[in-house]
Structure 1
Amino acid sequence: MSQDQRTTAPEKGTPADAGAELTPVTTVLAALARALREQPTGRQILDGLDELGELSVCDEDPREIAATVAALCYLARIPAPAPAGPFRYYRADHEGIVADRYTTAAEAQRHCEALISREHPPAASVIFLWLTDEDQDPTGEPDDPMAVAELVVMVNGGPEVHTGYTVTPVEVAAAYDPDADE
């Protein structure tokens, strides 16, 4: 892409000019294009725009796209858009005491497993099992993405022991929905 293509405004008659509905990504891209003329970090922004375009075209993980948008907004010194929909995080806890929160269940589980590992000598053989509701499909994936997973361990080939460690998915709404209360 040449420098002329990066800095010229869209021609008349394009969807952005015709008043089409703008997505948060499109809004950010338009603001970033304006900011390129004013910021000394223009080259970094252009590189980030290329990466964002590739992520968007390839239908990558929306969280990765949002992280790239946030980084570009930071470079351009413009506010990042609010998330479009609900956001899910995973809370690692032990008997109700929160250990931490993560963007993936795997990282929350890893934290719980590390805490359990510290409770046993290094030479101990600890097998970790994550249990959810009984209704699991044959692949072992829970039917309900909001199911709480409980950590069960077997130490040195012994019986299964419930540890009290759980990973709970928590959805956070992007905006208030008055109908959700009902």
Structure 2
Amino acid sequence: MTTHSTRTAGSSRSTRLVDTAAGVISRAMQQGCTLPAALANALDSARLLQSPETAAAMQRLRDDQAANDHEYETATARIAALEKAAVEGRAALASFCHDHPDPGTAALGALYLLQQATHGTPMQPGETVPKFYQASHESIVMGLYITAAEARRHCETEMRRDIPGASLDWIEDDEDGVAELVAAFSEDERPTGYVVTALEVTSDYHEGVDK
């Protein structure tokens, strides 16, 4: 019974292949192909000259490609959804930091990271991009502020704890947005290591800005 079913299935498959081959040959002849080599090429293009092993291997490759395409489409959709959520979060947090007189270092830091992660994405309607001012000492970040005055006050407060009687002044570099705190002792002025840096966040990447 099993042998008969197998033969029947094999015969049916063979009949389908013959019918398919006949159709390919007929179309080729209608297009002017009459030489045996031309007819053979037509059959080969229709993948009718492949061995069963080759045909199976090709089918596996097609199945793998379809699976890869599906995974790519799924990942792309997931990335788009995550990016949309990040942009919406960025806009909400930017609005909070802009409107709140003292949003705090954690909120400003989170906003800065979100803006860095969403470079190149369009701004939301009404979204503001506040400028950050980073207070640091010897390259160690102490805090982020939305005004230069608050960042400087932080640096000055820390400096006066170390040297209460020092006369403090700021030296600014307009080109790179860096202000350096210096302390005067008698007539000698020395750097303190405290720096306030203006951090501008843009929505677009500009080649060469980090070189």
TM-score interval (norm. to shorter): 0.3 to 0.5
> More helix by proportion, 1 or 2?
2
Tell me the TM-score normalized by structure 2.
Answer: 0.37
Q: Which has the higher contact order (CA 8 A, sep 6+)?
A: 1
TM-score by length of 1: 0.42
